[in-house]
Amino acid sequence: MPAERAEIVPSYRRMPVALGILVGMVLLTIFDVVPLVTAVLMAALAAVFTRCLTMEDAYRAIHWSSLVLIAGMLPLADALLSTMGDASPYMMLSVIFLLTARLGSCCPTRHPRCWLHP
């Protein structure tokens, strides 16, 4: 079992409310009422407001390393879009892949990933 699961005590009384929030989020996304990010944020806030989730539990559930990685990739994506000119995103991704594969064949395993990781 994951280590995080041992920290959380399930509240079976709030389970119907949590399932309703989940179904609402999925329906809002399926029928394209709001964008996915908005639906997820609304569901998270609804879970906190209905006391299905405490703010402390929500804060502990955030994977900060993933958040920092995504925040670091956003400027790189903007830079690639502004500098690639007429090149398609598929061509740019292919160039990055081929460069990583070539460097990986002649360098130790982790180094090319570290150099080219967004």
Chain-centroid distance of CA 76 in Å reads 16
**Residue ranges of domains in the chain:** 3-62, 75-116
Q: What is the pLDDT of residues 40-65, one digit of tens each?
A: 999 999 999 998 888 888 888 888 88
Got the DSSP string for 60-113? HH--HHHHHHHHHHHHHHHHHHHHSTT--HHHHHHHHHHHHHHHHHHS-THHHH
**Global pTM?**
0.57
Return the top range by mean pLDDT from 30-39, 60-69, 88-97.
30-39
CB 24 within 8 A of CB 34: no
Q: Which residues contact 29 (CB under 8 A, 6 or more apart)?
A: 36, 39
What pLDDT, in 10s, does the model give residues 61-90? 888 888 888 888 888 778 877 877 777 878
Tell me, what amino acid is at 4? E
